[in-house]
Structure 1
Amino acid sequence: MKLFLKKWMLLLLVGIPSCIYAQTKYKVTSPSGKLRLEVATGNEITYSVIHEEDTMIAPSPISMTLTDGTVFGRFPRLKKKRSRSVNQTINPPVYKKSVIADCYNELTLEFKEDYKVVFRAYDEGVAYRFVSSRKAPFWVKDEQAVFNLPDNPDIFAATPKGRQIDGKENQYHSSFQNTYRHVPLSEWDKSRLAFLPVLFAKKGKERKKVCITEADLLNYPGMFLKADDEDKGLYGHFAAYPKEVAVEVRGLKEVVKSREPYIAKSEGCTAFPWRVIIVSEKDADLLCSDLVYKLAAPAEGDYSWVKPGKVAWDWWNDWNISGVDFRAGINTDTYKYYIDFASRFGIEYVILDEGWAVAGPADLFQVVPEIDLEELVRYAEARHVGLILWAGFRAFDKDMERVCKHYAEMGIKGFKIDFMDRDDQYMIDFNRRCAETGARYKLLIDLHGTSKPTGLQRTYPNAVNFEGVHGLEEMKWAQPGTDQVTYDVTMPFIRMVAGPVDYTQGAMVNMNRENFRAIYSEPMSQGTRCRQLAAYVIFDSPLNMLCDSPSNYMREAECTRFIAGIPTTWQETLPLDGKVGEYIVMARRQGDAWYVAGLTDWTARDIEVDLSFVEGENIRVELFEDGANADRVGRDYRRRVFSLSSGRKQKIHLAPGGGFIMKVSVGGQADGGR
């Protein structure tokens, strides 16, 4: 009997771990049933993503480690499970469409260790987030975010151009501006970080895509991705919280000299960022994803005062105006010229970029003596033009409240904020505080020099633009071999999935591949003139720059008038066709007018645009297309105005590096064209 009891007790003890930590499986399916998220809990929490019968993300562990040794996700003990389905609409005040269908199924697993994990499945992707229910503050040491990718997919990713600090490259310090590398995952450099979003192409005939990014990032470091040693996938990597900070570059920039042994401080009850996995069957589906916006916290209060629009910009063209009787530069006369130009063409804003405030002290109340700012505000208001001021991060952070109050009372309409150049928790929270403070004083906020958006534009609709893009400014100093044309037909499928871009297009000096040169003071673009026009439709940007000199624009008045008339927000957006790294065709509607545009890489293309989505008769088309010699002379274009019957298809030729744009109006009459 004693021997039997001993054997029974031994079996019981051996069986305890497998009994307590036995794996339990859960499933969340998208509304259409095509996409499902499978979750398993046992000794750890894992998830996988399956589209139809294709495994897009293989089982991958997730967890969050706190500095007190607690690990959310290790040996989890389930307390409660809840499921729900949501079918609603969102009506954004500033966006690429006026109505967003928000439909998903959700699973929440609440655990006894004072946290829960929320999983959502949409037809376009899935997401998960940790939520703490702890009452006391705590620090997050690290987060485990793993994305195991089967079959060695191709990766499209960009790495930080890290700043040199103490003689070494520091990848945590960058402007988040680089072109994409396209290689099999196994060939990715394991020493390099990749900043989000990152795109993967699954092996096979259909070439389904997976885009990884994050949403609702308000007070937590941004996530980078690194390749694991076994080429199974990538895992999240985070900058630790800054400890020792030094000031550089005319008092405008900061560098972190040392960091804390944790990545984030938490107030206790905290919802952490969503980890977002977007799945597309066709490349063009990525051009119109709303998932990041849908996952962000909604705005509170009235934002009807937010007025997006076009901006005449000074810095890219180096204040180079001609045919005037004063010395052009950072002075009152020059900015009156910019204001007159904006007023003439109905451009809503003029920006005063770096140089209007005294360099060095990082004090935005010290205006250079060459500028009479109050006079410029008065002059602009009389001509129905608003002024926006540039600000370096440090100067704005020093006295944010007083700066916003002072300049809002003066009549300034917004701030373009620059040189953040990192995305640790402090800097992400700075972006949020900029938007929040700006909103109190009804100021537009353009977050230049920062990382990709994660939905801040939904939480604070006055935060209209974000850089984190290899924009046209790079052409001022581009190294030989820089291929902006291929980037332009790659970025919208990746970076633009996260939200709007501060790309700053509109060059009037346009060169083919052989003739392009990087010139700082008189810059040019790669590709054709019509490519620059098309970018105003292809790229999302509620506050959209005209980067070139007013003198150049006035010499090219036909193009300028057309650019000035293109909306910057839309009621509908349709991705018509596209292939990552090759070409894009999109349509957007505002009111009764559709704008349809396309871009190609360095390959000439003949495309056929199906306009059957345009309802009505007597369709008037105003088309800007590459000229017969645009492959040799990039500025060569042809404008045509003609009528179409409903349902007609239009054939268009795109030169190498070319593009096209058309305005399609219902009920108009053709009036000719060159």
Structure 2
Amino acid sequence: MKNHVFALILICTSLLQSCNEKSNIGLFTNPSETIKVNFGLNNNKAPFYKVSYNNKIVLDSSILGIERKDESFYNNLEIITISEPKLVKDHYTMHQGKQKNIEYEANQYIVELQNENEKRINIIFNISDDGVAFKYKFPEASDSIFKIEDEKTTYNFTSNTKAWLQPMSRAKTGWEQVHPSYEEHYISNISVDEKSPIGEGWVYPALFKANDTWLVVSETGLKANYCGTRLMYNEEDEALKVTFPQKEEIFPNGELKPESKTPWETPWRIITIGDLKTVTESTLGTDLANKAIEMGTSFIESGLASWSWALLKDDSVNYETTKEFIDYASDMHWKYCLIDVNWDTTIGDEKMKALADYANSKNVKLIVWYNSSGSWNTTPYHPKSKLLTQEGRETEFKRMNDLGISGVKIDFFGGDGQSMIAYYHDILKDAAKNKLLVNFHGATLPRGWQRTYPHLMTVEAIKGEEFITFDQENADLQASHCAMLPFTRNIFDPMDFTPMVLDSIPGIQRKTTKSFELALPILFLSGIQHIAETPAGMEKQPDFIIEFLKDIPTNWDESKFISGFPGKDVVMARRKGDNWFVVGINGEDQSKTLDLDLSFIKNSKGILYTEKDNEFYRETINSDSLTKIQLKRNDGFVVKF
């Protein structure tokens, strides 16, 4: 009996020692104390964190750490100091997006650690009222180049958490080997341990629901000395882990994994936390992005653009059709016209200069297409491979200035490796010097770059309207896909979905109503909103719709989430000056009635645009009386107050 008691004492002592080794050393909170982060070292002396919201755990013990090629900053670490909370504040203005003037406030905690060789790493936490952010910093200065082999960051969601995720595509697959470009359909309401069907994990932003709490995981502040990452379920950690790109995702002869001199900071890992209103209205993705570079901004204007290629494809890129689309943009009071692939041969410099002069006389600016790619894919479109070097960019961008071109749409990038991320930064810096607006297609998620580079107007990184024109399956999925995007891809960053077909798509049966399509340019956020509809299609619409489309902002002063659920429906309100636009779409194949709380728009008259009998319909309404709206399947509405 004594032996059994002694054994039990030994077991209890061992358990207590283990618990003490994984004890919480730091407790970090946001200013309102609704979000709490427990920090500590586990029994391997690896750092971990745990997050609770309103005193309920939403992220269980999750691992932190970095494996550098020369040193490990993962196990066997020692805490040197944990700082007292410091209130950090920021105020900044955006040229585009959901909100113009933005205030950021958070409690910052800095954990200083060292490894067995007394090499230092800091983990910096910012806890705001809408989420948690953290990043790593190597504080010791050195001119040597250090390389990171692996980032150990995990997100250990509670067992009942559900996820809404987009699979990462496999590199060098798809048409002419153009993947990855963030162009897959989302998978809804799955377990966090479900494997991606493609086998390469999941892209950001990733959406989760832990009981009644919503979380969005992403990254921001991605500099040229780090790679873009994604999430992959790690069996050993039993959690979603930050994962580096596939080996093919590099600039020719460039680096895949991060390398830099020190001091060196990683991108911010961000987690917005709260209800759907909190996460959709959050600006955390730009709050912690790098501040704007020094540059003139007088040439930066947001607006709508006409675009022939969306419905008319390659044959439309010629002098006559482009001139027609310049007239179209001018008639619609849109600022831009986009000229797509092969313009260098189908139009040529001499006629491009004539088109630019003509557009200028019509108060329209031109944007032209480039193929960014070198050897990483086999795309035939041109001009191609002109931007691979700084010398090439300077030549081409000066050429654009001489022709009177205002911006460039650059397509077909090759992934998220560190050298490819550096390529994006190089393009943006050189475009800024030449006062050219930038639109990236076939590209990565911008991760807050629109704050750092205000002339970055938009980025595709989505299965957008062009895919709907390619095959019926994408058209069939459009409504639910569009109802997913305000909660995921478009939640922080501009998205060039290229929306809105009011008439018809050649060879495709459109499944959405006219009023669904009308809502998209307001629902979706993009510094330049490229409109898919053609002049011929627009001429078929009633005059009141054409007049409405002449005055749609793309840079908003304020945005509010009214109602919705990812993939099912969404209603958003956006304000520009004294005008409120309230838009909603039904992403399901069934009719429904949506409740509307528009109490913030006090006793205002507005025009409601909907569809009846397959035609546009409008009526005058009052904000106080518009408390419900009925939508058909795949239907939408717009109200302008």
How far apart in 1 are the matches of 2:415 and 2:493?
18
Relative to structure 1, the CA distance from residue 243 to residue 585 in structure 2 (aligned partners, 3 Å threshold; closer, same or farther) is closer
Shift of 1:638: 1.0
1:523 and 1:346 map into 2 onto residues whose CA distance is 29
TM-score (norm 1): 0.83
Going from structure 1 to structure 2, the CA distance change for 1:625 and 1:606 (only over 3 Å counts) comes to: same
Q: Which digits, 9 at most, give the CA deviation of each residue in 1:547-585, with x for residues without a partner?
A: 121221122253333223110011111111111221111
Counterparts of 1:293-442 in structure 2 under 5 Å? 293-301=286-294, 302-318=296-312, 329-358=316-345, 368-369=347-348, 372-394=351-373, 395=385, 396-398=387-389, 399-442=392-435
The change in CA–CA distance for 1:168 and 1:341 in structure 2 (over 3 A counts) is closer
Q: Are the aligned partners of 1:241 and 1:264 in contact in 2 as well (CA < 8 Å)?
A: no
- Residue in structure 1 matched with residue 523 of structure 2 by the alignment: 538
Kindly state the Cα deviation for residue 591 of structure 1 after the two structures are TM-superposed: 1.1
Deviation at 1:149, TM superposition (A): 1.1
1:250 corresponds to which residue? none
Question: Is the contact between residue 349 and residue 403 of structure 2 (CA under 8 Å) also seen in structure 1?
Answer: no
Return the letter of the residue paired with 1:56.
Answer: V
Deviation of 1:330 after TM superposition, in Å, equals: 2.3
The answer on whether the counterparts of 1:132 and 1:268 sit within 8 Å (CA) in structure 2 is yes
CA shift in 2, pair 1:523/1:347, >3 Å: farther
- State the shift of 1:611 in Å: 2.8
> CA offsets per residue over residues 140-193 of structure 1, 9 Å max, x none?
11111211111242121111343556x9999x9322111111222344348341
Q: In the alignment, is residue 269 of structure 1 matched against residue 277 of structure 2?
A: no
Residue 578 of structure 1 aligns to a residue whose secondary structure is: strand
**Matching of residues 261-660 of structure 1 within 5 Å:** 263-281=257-275, 283-301=276-294, 302-318=296-312, 329-358=316-345, 368-369=347-348, 372-394=351-373, 395=385, 396-398=387-389, 399-478=392-471, 480=473, 482-509=476-503, 525-556=510-541, 558=543, 559-601=545-587, 602-615=589-602, 619-627=604-612, 629-630=613-614, 636-640=615-619, 642=620, 644=622, 647-660=624-637
> Which sits farther off after the overlay, 294-303 or 31-40?
294-303
Give the Cα–Cα distance (whole angstroms) in 2 for the partners of residues 211 and 463 of structure 1: 23
Q: Which moved more, 1:378-387 or 1:264-273?
A: 264-273
Alpha-carbon deviation of 1:490?
Answer: 1.2
The RMSD of aligned alpha carbons is 2.9
Deviation at 1:231, TM superposition (A): 8.7
Answering whether residue 97 of structure 2 is matched by residue 106 of structure 1, we say no
Letter in 1 for 2:285: V
The answer to whether the 8 A contact 1:572-1:590 is kept is yes
Q: Taking structure 1 as reference, are residues 393 and 557 closer, same or farther at Cα in structure 2, changes over 3 Å only?
A: farther
Give the direction of change, closer, same or farther, for the CA distance of 1:64–1:214 in structure 2 (3 Å limit). same
Residue deviations 1:24-70, cap 9 Å, x none? 611211111111122113611111111112211111111111122x0
Distance in 2, matches of 1:269 and 1:638, equals: 60
| 121, 125, 130: which one aligns with 1:124 | 130
Identity across the alignment (%): 25
- 1:648 Cα shift? 3.3
The residue aligned with 1:362 is none
Q: Does 1:184 align with 2:185?
A: no
CA change 1:158–1:435 in 2 (3 A) is same
2:223 to 214, 218, 221: 218
Deviation at 1:541, TM superposition (A): 1.0
Are the aligned partners of 1:216 and 1:455 in contact in 2 as well (CA < 8 Å)? Answer: yes
SS in 2 for 1:480: helix
CA distance in structure 1 between the aligned counterparts of 2:582 and 2:402, rounded to whole angstroms: 40
Q: Distance in 1 between matches of 2:32 and 2:73?
A: 31
Compared CA separation, residues 52 and 353, structure 1 to 2 (3 A):
same
**1:353–1:390 contact (8 Å) kept in structure 2:** yes
Judged with a 3 Å threshold, the aligned counterparts in structure 2 of structure 1 residues 237 and 401 are, in CA distance, closer, same or farther, namely: same
Determine if the alignment matches structure 1 residue 76 to structure 2 residue 82.
no
Q: Is the 8 A contact 1:332 1:370 kept in 2?
A: no
2:33, 2:287 → 1: CA distance?
19
Q: Given that residues 310 and 564 in structure 1 are in contact (C-alpha distance below 8 angstroms), is that contact kept between their aligned partners in structure 2? A: no
Deviation, structure 1 residue 588? 0.7
**C-alpha deviations, 1:203-231, integer Å up to 9, x for none?**
4xx3x122111011122211111112279
Q: Following the alignment from structure 1 to structure 2, what is the Cα–Cα distance between the partners of residues 604 and 464?
A: 36
Aligned to 1:44: 46
Q: Distance in 2 between matches of 1:33 and 1:298?
A: 27
Distance in 2 (alpha carbons) for counterparts of 1:130 and 1:624 = 49
SS at match of 2:75: coil
Deviation at 1:497, TM superposition (A): 2.1
Match of 2:533, SS state, is: coil
CA contact (8 A) 1:588 1:596 kept: yes
Task: Note if contact 2:499-2:517 (Cα within 8 Å) is conserved in structure 1.
Answer: yes
Task: Supply the distance in 1 between the matched residues of 2:123 and 2:434 (Cα, whole angstroms).
Answer: 37
| 1:176–1:421 contact (8 Å) kept in structure 2 | no
Cα distance, 1:91 vs structure 2: 2.4
Could you report, residue by residue, the CA deviation over 1:5-32 in whole angstroms, capped at 9, with x for unpaired residues? Answer: xxxxxxxxx9xx99x9886611211111
What code does the residue aligned with 1:329 have? S
Worse-matched range after superposition: 173-182 or 23-32: 23-32
Match of 1:197 in 2: 205
Determine helix, strand or coil for the equivalent of 1:595.
Answer: strand
Contact kept, 8 Å, 2:96 with 2:554, in 1: the verdict is no
Q: Could you say what secondary structure the match of 2:76 adopts?
A: coil
The change in CA–CA distance for 1:115 and 1:408 in structure 2 (over 3 A counts) is: farther
Query: What is the CA deviation profile of residues 590-616 of structure 1, one whole-angstrom value per residue up to 9, with x for unaligned ones?
Result: 11111000011222122343332124x
